Amino acid sequence: MTTAAQNIILNTTEINHKIRRIAYQIYEANHKEKEVILAGIADNGYIFAEKIAIVLKDISDIEVTLCKVSINKKKPLEPITTSLPAQDYKNKSLVLVDDVLNSGTTLIYGIKHFLDVPLKKFKTAVLVNRNHKKYPVKADFKGISLSTSIKEHVVVEFNNDETIAYLT
């Protein structure tokens, strides 16, 4: 048995349940909206957003638009780019999505980027919320919250047939 297998936090079935629950929460928070933008932080955040979008389209008649957000996680002050022009999400409901909320650095800089455009609603969603934040940022929708040591790292692997989250 590998170290990853010994430290699994969420397996494929559990992650699929979390995705479905988060999709319902997003729907409940936006049931009066015609469109919701799911802005996924590349790479895993975008994959997670795609999975949420599939369920959201299945359970509601809200138009779901995906947006890929590119942030240099090692140098978050570098310009952030999105696959949609700002005009496409202006005055709309937007959910910023990432796989893991670690220190909050990536999410806070992602939030900062979207604050330059007037939005109707702005929420955040993560699969795993760690409780070691250096910034006062929170996830509005989260799959699981973990209290881990500073030395532990949460990894989410999205594969074709299996998705797991584990500690390293």
pLDDT single digits (tens) 116-139: 999 999 999 999 998 777 788 889
Parent domain of 103: 3-167
DSSP state of 102: S
- Indicate if the pLDDT at residue 3 is higher than 60: no
Tokens of 80: 């952030």
Q: Which of 12-21, 29-38, 127-136 has the lowest mean pLDDT?
A: 127-136
Of 56, 50, 52, the residue nearest 69 (C-alpha):
50
CATH number at residue 21: 3.40.50.2020
Q: What is the pLDDT of residue 2?
A: 47
Q: What is the pLDDT of residue 137?
A: 87
Q: What is the pTM of this model?
A: 0.93
Of 62, 116, 122, the residue nearest 92 (C-alpha):
122
Number of helices followed by number of strands (H, E) in the chain = 4, 9
Q: Give 67-106 pLDDT, tens digit per residue.
A: 999 999 889 889 999 999 999 999 999 999 999 998 888 9
Tokens of 2: 């590998």
Q: Residue 17: which H helix or E strand, with range? A: helix 12-29
Tokens of 98: 């990432």
Count the domains in the chain: 1
* Amino acid present at 10: L
